[in-house]
Amino acid sequence: MCGILAVLGCSDVSQAKRTRVLELSRRLKHRGPDWSGIYQNGDCYLSHQRLAIVDPASGDQPLYNENQTIVVTVNGEIYNHEEIRKSLPDHKFGTGSDCEVIAHLYEEHGENFIDMLDGVFSFVLLDTRDNSFIAARDAIGIASLYIGWGLDGSVWISSEMKGLHDDCEHFECFPPGHFYSSKTSSLCRWYNPPWFSEAIPTNPHEPLVLRRAFEDAVVKRLMSDVPFGVLLSGGLDSSLVASITSRHLAETKAGRTWGAHLLSFCVGLEGSPDLKAAKEVADHLGTMHHEFHFTVQEGIDAIEDVIFHTETYDVTTIRASTPMFLMSRKIKSLGVKMVLSGEGADEIFGGYLYFHKAPSKEEFHVETCHKLKALHMYDCLRANKATSAWGLEARVPFLDKEFINVAMSIDPEWKMIKPEEGRIEKWILRRAFDDEERPYLPKHILYRQKEQFSDGVGYSWIDGIKAHAEQRVTDKMMQKAEHIFPHNTPKTKEAYYYRMVFEKFFPQNSAKLTVPGGPTVACSSAKAVEWDQAWSKNLDPSGRAACGIHNSAYQQRHAISSKTIPAKIIDDMPWMIASTS
């Protein structure tokens, strides 16, 4: 992921303003350490910090159309760029960059082209012919983006808050699936798939259709001119990504150039569940596996940096971002610039343990829709910013636009968790990849229970940061919390500690409003409380705190397994815990 910053329609066109834009753009250099560029046309500035994944030699930005009347700065990857190029035979392309097609599509179709893009992106496009501009963000919000307004009437667009928060009177998160047009001075939704209305789908579950859709989502994300790998926690989601990638690596340019041995990476405390599970999967797939250890103290020492880079005070996000942040630095040190990761499956398929309590297929489906719509504030934010902090790009195939359309069109009755029928969480995904002739994964990995990433890296990680917060936040401070933080008042000392750090870096009122609010409950969902009132008393959003589901699922495991897995394999199963992220 790159870093973009645009200042549009400002009253100051002096050299001092250009210098200020460059200074702010450098705050995003961690996202794109390979090159930087800036374009100025009158009162509009477009700047870019590049992470070179496709066409490293000639794809520097900003990018242009043939006569340079259309200028664009882009953060993202356009996976169907070759098909788009073929559809524009009258256009001349100046680079091999996948992002250049945006300028030419606009020239051909005006503002009505964004849904033609298959990829992950945030961009700003300036039409110098009339000095109009548009800004847009991808369907789910995988690429981070913020929009702000200056007192002089200027519009600011930045990949991260730190690029604009000091210079804007007001700023906010740029909504996913929207574009902003200067012609109307308003945001407009461009992404409006059938599932967005939350109408209950009725399509039957066809395992092979689901399997092919996900394989296609993974394969298109292997587009790279630099070495890449996979994040492997040993849970279902990351293991499926790794399995499919290992099957297709030899067909890619990277595989032909650097060899068809897949690199895999895992992080955890010494002896953690994830490390053990990931090693087992890596051995099965034959990956070149890298295991990174961290201590609780090292994690605590990194928390301020993590909050600065992730720009949030959400408890679960910070817990999970810290080990990912530490791992990303190690991965980048090995010369890897891109990784595939498993975010999104739990939202699509109802993989979180509180979905065990879903009272009906209708409520199950509506909750998955809500979770998907909120991902840009949680797991997408974590995956994007914790990796980009070190100039590493994370790609998330479960959030592929076409795959989501397939998976969210399935009758949610098939997604319901029914232990008496041998259906555990994400059963239809597991079934889709349960191939007897050419197994993607061993059975006991394919049917391993869900656990949150922040738990899987080692239980003492959460215990350690709670103890640290106890030392930093007094009882008296908690008593006054609602007066100090009237918006999103922290309910625990851990939450209070994160909030103090956040406001040190981002003291503006606009900043605190970019973080999702509401009471902290198990699984960070009001639905969890609605489905089981006992959860309303739980202030810990950890997966293992899901009021008995985490442990009781193990008690059901043998009964479930006997219906879905051969007895010989069951006898050898450790049923270890592992993250599915």
pLDDT digits (tens, 9 = 90+) for 166-223: 999 999 999 999 999 999 999 999 999 999 999 999 999 999 999 999 999 999 999 9
Tokens of 543: 């997966």
Whether the model pTM is above 0.75: yes
Which CATH superfamily is 3-192 part of?
Aminohydrolase, N-terminal nucleophile (Ntn) domain (3.60.20.10)
Q: How far apart are CA 454 and CA 542, in angstroms?
A: 8
Strand-pair partners of 133: 126
436-440 long-range contacts, Cβ below 8 Å, gap at least 24?
A: 440/240, 440/243, 440/244
pLDDT-above-70 percentage for the chain: 89
Contact 390, 329 (CB under 8 A): yes
Query: Which one of 424-428, 526-530, 547-551 scores highest in mean pLDDT?
Result: 424-428
| Domain 197-571 coded CATH 3.40.50.620 | yes
Q: Is the dihedral of CA 524, 527, 531, 532 positive or negative?
A: positive
The pLDDT of residue 549: 58
Of residues 143 and 523, the one with the higher pLDDT is 143
| Identity at 109, one-letter amino acid code | H
561 has a pLDDT exceeding 90: no
Give the pLDDT band (50/70/90) at residue 375: very high
Q: How far apart are CA 549 and CA 354, in angstroms?
A: 7
Contact 559, 319 (CB under 8 A): no
pLDDT digits (tens, 9 = 90+) for 7-52: 999 999 999 999 999 999 999 999 999 999 999 999 999 999 999 9
Q: Is 2 a catalytic residue?
A: yes
pLDDT digits (tens, 9 = 90+) for 111-133: 999 999 999 999 999 999 999 99
Q: Which of 2, 44, 369, 380 is catalytic?
A: 2
- The neighbour count for residue 11, using CB atoms within 10 Å, is 11
550 has a pLDDT exceeding 70: no
Of residues 532 and 500, the one with the higher pLDDT is 500
Domain ranges of the chain: 3-192, 197-571
- Low-confidence winner among 166-170, 351-355, 552-556, 573-577 (lowest mean pLDDT): 573-577
Give the pLDDT band (50/70/90) at residue 546: low
Residues in the chain: 581
